[in-house]
């Protein structure tokens, strides 16, 4: 469940990045064989679609009209999407436990992430802080699935 928790931390910062990373890893066959990932995640179209949504989210985050991540709709999206990613990374038969861990962690991580971003924006602006946050979220998600791949091999 560690991977589910860690992916939830990523989901607190970027809602679509966890599912995109998991879908790409699933499509490439890089997830452990005993994980609870639904078969649909292995389809290349799902990987492509989730990556497109993650990139759109990253682009939209830099807009002045972007809502805060802690608005109810944003928190709901984080809970659901990070929950799907967390469930997929859980051991087989533990999907719902992994989903709960990933979703709850994403919601909880949203608040300190939002506070840190607001503080950083005062000195560095919206776009630079957003790009830094994108890089951290993406690096974290890639590291999590790479760690799973290494453990599988």
Per-residue pLDDT reduced to its tens digit, 8-61: 999 999 999 999 999 999 999 999 888 899 889 999 999 999 999 999 999 998
In this predicted structure, what is the pLDDT of residue 126? 92
- pTM for this predicted structure: 0.93
Question: In sequence order, which ranges of the chain are alpha helices (DSSP H)?
Answer: 2-11, 17-28, 44-61, 72-89, 95-124, 126-152
Beta bridge partners of 35: 91
- Please write the tens of the pLDDT for every residue from 81-100: 999 999 999 999 999 999 99
Start-to-end CA distance of the chain, whole Å, equals 19
Query: What is the DSSP secondary-structure string of 135-149?
Result: HHHHHHHHHHHHHHH
> In the prediction, which pLDDT does 153 show?
59
């Amino acid at each position: 469940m560690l991977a589910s928790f860690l992916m939830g931390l990523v989901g607190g910062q970027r809602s679509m990045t966890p599912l995109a990373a998991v879908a790409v890893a699933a499509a490439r066959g890089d997830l452990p064989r005993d994980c609870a990932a639904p078969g649909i995640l292995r389809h290349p179209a799902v990987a492509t679609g989730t990556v497109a949504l993650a990139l759109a989210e990253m682009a939209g985050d830099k807009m002045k009209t972007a809502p805060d991540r802690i608005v109810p709709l944003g928190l709901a999206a984080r809970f659901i999407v990070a929950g799907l990613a967390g469930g997929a990374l859980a051991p087989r038969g533990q999907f719902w436990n992994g989903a709960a861990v990933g979703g709850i962690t994403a919601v909880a991580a949203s608040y300190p992430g939002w506070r840190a971003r607001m503080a950083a924006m005062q000195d560095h602006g919206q776009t630079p802080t957003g790009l830094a946050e994108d890089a951290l979220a993406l690096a974290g998600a890639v590291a999590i699935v790479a760690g799973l791949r290494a453990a599988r091999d």
